[in-house]
A and B are shown apart, each in its own frame.
Chain A
Amino acid sequence: MNTAYLPYVLAGVGLTLAVATGALVLATLLGIAAAAMRLSNHRVARAIATAYATLIRGVPDLVLMLLIFYGGQIAVNALAQRLGWIDEGGSLDIDPFVAGTITIGFIYGAYFAETFRGAMLAVPIGQSEAAEAFGMTPVQVLVRIVLPQTVRHALPGFTNNWLVLVKSTALVSIIGLTDLMYRAKQAGAATRAAFFYFAFAAAIYLAITTVSLLALRAVERRHARGVRAIDRPAA
């Protein structure tokens, strides 16, 4: 068994985690915004958020990723030419890291939106009504009153979405990012020990998902301190 490429494959973990955490931040922000839009009284905002959640969740990640990566390249170049940033026939290369992270963040924002919407609905309406009565603006009501109470209800769904998101980062290897998956594939081809290197990659993904699961369970328990045992997530 040729193990010479193990450090090379292991060096891809950083990129995998960077894409995953970058996408997580973007997806969380988009998810909160879309959930708030879906629950707002503004009809256009509601329609946009509903369309976002429905369309994105109805199409495979991989197709969206290819669309945004290859299509985004052309769109950015067309825009840059129109604005005169680059000459006719010149081209800007989109960094695959940026493209991959934005794409995954954009996709999972739709899933997070559903989680956050459910969690926001679980916060009693009287809370936001009372906040409004105190003269808070809608943004203040969201940031000061609704979001802090949403955390507990959103955590189980958040955990689940994060696990799916981490696994979907493997797809960025298809658009050429040298993440864990890409390196495992290269190592497997170079050594003719593909089984070994893919099994190694799988073990690392499993370690990442297991550690996140345990950590997020602990956070869930901490956020459920003030809740009676029957509603609390099991240890």
Chain B
Amino acid sequence: MDFETLFEPDTLRLYASGIGVTLELLAVSLLGGLILSIPLAVVRSARSRWWSMPVAAYTFVVRGTPLLVQVYLIYYGVAQLDWVQARWDAMWPWVWFKEPVFCTLVAFVLNTTAYTIELVAGAIRETPHGEIEAAESYGMTHATLMRRIVLPSALRRALPAYGNEVVLMLHATSVASVVPGIVDLTGAANSLYATTYLPFESYIAAAVIYLVLTFVLVAVLRVVERHALAHLRRGGSASQAPTAPDEAQPA
């Protein structure tokens, strides 16, 4: 074992820039995924099948196929379509499809969006009936009810599952290393292995860094959850504890 190679300046720079690329991929994917998935989750949980079915079909297809296929489909597939090639020299947004990072991010965003839609839609479905009935009896329109009552509570309740998705997405970004020209953390390990033929050192270093990133993310998410879900915690102060209506009546 030759772990000293890892601490040479060039190697450290390689891994540092790899971490940067991984975190950028993660941040952009998650941001894009959130922006797309919240409105789509509302559509997914619509009562009319005409609205919910197309979104359900989308999440079914994306969640039923490997991320690697999706990345290849967009990176190699879309870029080889004549229709796209006829446009990508000049026409927006097709010019971006010449960029490997853009193609990869499109695949990542489409992927995480599908998983996030399902977990947010699940939280929307589990909103207590009473809250919705109360809002309706106040005369709220469906849109107001969604915006003021359902979404604020559903998004908070979706947090634990979303935290899981964040960690899975961090790990999923390693797939970017198969795209030529992208050197994320896994790509950095590949590149060190290719020059030194030291597989243990190269990949164990990457694995340890992923592990540390995972633990940091989990810790951050736990703090966010504690704050966002304080109202659901048991054993808090008396004013926060949920009180059943019949208990609230004077004996």
Contact = CB atoms under 8 A, between A and B. Distances in A.
A62 B171 CA distance: 9
A71 B207 CA distance: 13
A58 interface: yes
- Chain A contact residues, majority secondary structure: helix
Interface centre among B78, B172, B193, B207 (most CB of A within 10 A): B207
A171 B207 contact: no
A71 B203 contact: yes
B175 A167 contact: no
A189 B190 CA distance: 23
B122 to A, nearest CB: 13
B2 to A, nearest CB: 12
Nearest to B213: A58
A171 B68 contact: yes
Interface string A34-68: 00000000000000000000010011111110110
Interface stretch (B9-17, B59-67, B124-132, B223-231): B59-67
B184 to A, nearest CB: 10
Contacts of A167: 65-67
A59 B171 contact: yes
Interface stretch (B69-77, B87-95, B133-141, B236-244): B69-77
B203 A63 contact: yes
A63 B206 contact: yes
A62 B177 contact: yes
Contacts of B77: 188, 194-196, 198-199
Contacts of B73: 194-195, 198-199, 202
Contacts of B64: 163, 205-206, 209-210
B189 A66 contact: yes
Nearest to B190: A66
A58 B215 CA distance: 8
Interface in A168-223: 168-171, 173-174, 181, 184-185, 188-189, 192-196, 198-199, 201-202, 205-206, 209-210
Contacts of B200: 67, 71, 74-75
Contacts of B70: 202
A81 B80 CA distance: 48
B193 A70 contact: yes
Nearest to B70: A202
Contacts of B215: 58
Interface residues of B, number: 37
A62 B174 contact: yes
Contacts of B214: 58-59
Given A74-B199, A174-B178, A60 B171 contact: yes
Contacts of A173: 68
B80 A59 contact: no
A170 B69 contact: yes
Nearest to B68: A170
A64 B69 contact: no
Contact of B80 (A62, A184, A185, A194): A194
Contacts of A64: 207
A66 B198 CA distance: 12
B69 A60 contact: no
B143 interface: no
B69 A202 contact: yes
B203 A67 contact: yes
A198 B72 contact: yes
Nearest to A169: B66
Contacts of B65: 167, 202, 205-206, 209
Interface in B23-40: none
Interface in B170-213: 170-175, 177-178, 186, 189-190, 193, 199-200, 203-204, 206-207, 210-211
Contact of A195 (B61, B66, B80, B170): B80
B121 to A, nearest CB: 16
Interface centre among B66, B170, B214 (most CB of A within 10 A): B66
A66 B80 contact: no
B248 interface: no
15 contacts: A60-B210, A61-B171, A63-B189, A66-B190, A66-B199, A67-B200, A70-B203, A71-B200, A170-B69, A188-B80, A198-B76, A199-B73, A199-B77, A205-B64, A206-B61
Interface of A: 55, 58-64, 66-67, 70-71, 73-75, 163, 167-171, 173-174, 181, 184-185, 188-189, 192-196, 198-199, 201-202, 205-206, 209-210
